[in-house]
Amino acid sequence: MSLLNLKNLDFEELFARVAPLGASRTAALKLFASVFAHRAQSMADVARARQVPAGVRDWVQANATLPRLEVVERRKADDGFVKYLFASPLGGRFEAVRIPLFDTKYVVCISSQVGCALACDFCMTGKMGFSRNLETWEVVDQVLQVVHEADRPVRGVVFMGMGEPLLNYANTTRAARIMCHPAGLAISGRAMTFSTAGWVPGIKKYLADGLPYRLAFSLTSAIPEKRAQVLPVERTHPLPTLVEQIRAYAAQRNERAMLAYVVIKGFNTGLEDALALKAAFDGIPIKVDLIDVTDPTGRYEPPGADELKAFRDHLQLLKAPIARRYSGGKDIGAACGTLEASQRGGAVLDVA
Q: What amino acid positions are annotated as catalytic residues?
A: 95, 336
DSSP-derived secondary structure letter, 179: H
- The H or E element containing residue 322 is strand 322-324
DSSP-derived secondary structure letter, 256: P
Q: Under DSSP, is residue 270 helix (H, G, I), strand (E, B) or coil?
A: coil
CB crowding 19-28: b at 16 or more within 10 Å, else e: eebebeeebb
Q: In degrees, to the nearest 5, what angle opens at C-alpha 144 toward C-alphas 214 and 218?
A: 30
Contact 310, 266 (CB under 8 A): no
Q: In degrees, to the nearest 5, what angle opens at C-alpha 219 toward C-alphas 263 and 321?
A: 75
**Alpha-carbon gap, residue 99 to 334, rounded angstroms:** 10
